[in-house]
Amino acid sequence: MPGQRQSQPLLALRGVSKRFSAVQALVDIELEIRAGEVVALVGDNAAGKSTLVKVISGVGPPDKGVIEWQGAPVQIRRPQDARLLGIATVYQDLAMCENLDVVANLFLGREIHRFGVLDEVEMERRTRELLHTLSIRIPDVRMPLAGLSGGQRQVVAIIRSFLGSPRLLLLDEPTASLGIQQTNQLLDLIEELRDQGLGVLLISHNMSDIKAVADRVAVLRLGRNNGLFDVNTTSQEQIISSITGAADHAVAHRPHPEEVWP
């Protein structure tokens, strides 16, 4: 397996472009993610990171370009297509139903049912089990999402992506509203999943998080590829100047975005 893993990426984007009426959001993007690898995707605001995630997850298909899954070109036109391939996503805006409870949100679109009747007991049992193994505390899994804090909601979005044992995880700023402890927990978890052979695409503005878990860093700038770096051999300054497009003193003007507290 490892040999094959090296030769063939799990997911590859070839010349992907996407345009919104006024904005050319992505231009000829190339990106490869291998199984057992964490790729960080970085770039300034409006660089096109979320747009790229939506291209891969089937929410906003590309105008041009090819998506390859394990070497073979695939069509991802709808979120269902991505899910069938084994792609799970945590969106930046979370995209969950405020009126449904935690269990219903976790299983939305893949409800467990017996003879067409929802099996609430089984869904709740699996939810509790999952929360337990990840040692996450949610006071009441039957509470509508509207009653949870921003960070708790992000946790729900993250564990939803773990359900259904995906092979590729797309995480769009998953730590944006997490506390320190929860962030560290998530980073540990990402490493664990990587070791199990999952591919992970992690979007973050936090350089230390990226240093901690990523193997490679892909930089987007104004919708274009702007460098691909190995985390272990590249300095933070190099990456940051690639993000901002300036070679020098860019760091001084732009403090790292701190954690957003809910």
Partner 1 sequence: MTNPLPTKARVAEYAGGVRRRVREGGLGPAPVLLALAVTWVVFQSLNDKFLSPRNLSVLSVDIVGTGMVAVGIVFVLLIGEIDLSVGSLAGLAGAVFAALHVNVGMTEWLAVVVAVVCGTAIGALHGFLFAKFGVPAFVVTLAGLLTWSGLMIYLLGPDSSISFSEDGLVASLTSRYYSAPGFTYGLAALCTAAYLLVSLRDRARRAGAGMPCRARSGIWVRTGLLAAVAFTTVAVLGHFEGLPLALLIFLGFIVASDLLLRRTPYGRQVLALGGGVEAARRAGVDVTRVRVSVFMIAGTLAAVGGLFVASRFTSASQVSGSGMLLINAVAAAVIGGTSLFGGRGSTWSALLGVLIIQSIASGMALLGVETAVQFMITGGVLITAVIFDSLARRTAASRVRT
Ligand X SMILES: Nc1ncnc2c1ncn2[C@@H]1O[C@H](COP(=O)(O)OP(=O)(O)OP(=O)(O)O)[C@@H](O)[C@H]1O
> Which among Mg ion, ligand X, partner 1, none contacts residue 23 (Cβ within 5 to 8 A by kind)?
ligand X
The CB-of-71 to partner 1 minimum distance in angstroms stands at 25
Residue 24 or residue 70: which is nearer to ligand X going by CB?
24
Residue 50 or residue 57: which is nearer to Mg ion going by CB?
50
- The answer to the question of residue 230 lying near partner 1 (CB under 8 A) is no
Distance CA 60, CA 40 (A): 21
- The answer to the question of residue 57 lying near partner 1 (CB under 8 A) is yes
In the three-class reduction of DSSP (H, G, I as helix; E, B as strand; rest coil), residue 60 is classed as: coil
In the three-class reduction of DSSP (H, G, I as helix; E, B as strand; rest coil), residue 198 is classed as: coil
Pure H helices in 91-213: 102-106, 120-133, 150-162, 180-195, 207-213
Residue 3 or residue 139: which is nearer to partner 1 going by CB?
139
Region 14-73 residues binding Mg ion, contact defined as CB under 5 A: 49-50
Distance CA 110, CA 123 (A): 10
Residue 92 or residue 236: which is nearer to Mg ion going by CB?
92
- 53 alpha carbon, distance to own chain's centre: 7
The four Cα atoms 130, 136, 137, 138 give a dihedral, to 10 degrees, of: -60
> Which among ligand X, Mg ion, partner 1, none contacts residue 99 (Cβ within 5 to 8 A by kind)?
partner 1
Residue 16 or residue 104: which is nearer to ligand X going by CB?
16
Residue 96: Cβ within 10 Å count: 20
- Which one of residues 7, 22, 45, 116 is an interface residue with partner 1 (CB under 8 A)? 116
The CB-of-47 to ligand X minimum distance in angstroms stands at 4
Candidates 115-123, 207-215, 227-235, 244-252; binding stretch for partner 1 (CB under 8 A): 115-123
The C-alpha angle 193, 129, 35, rounded to 5 degrees, equals 15
- The answer to the question of residue 79 lying near partner 1 (CB under 8 A) is yes
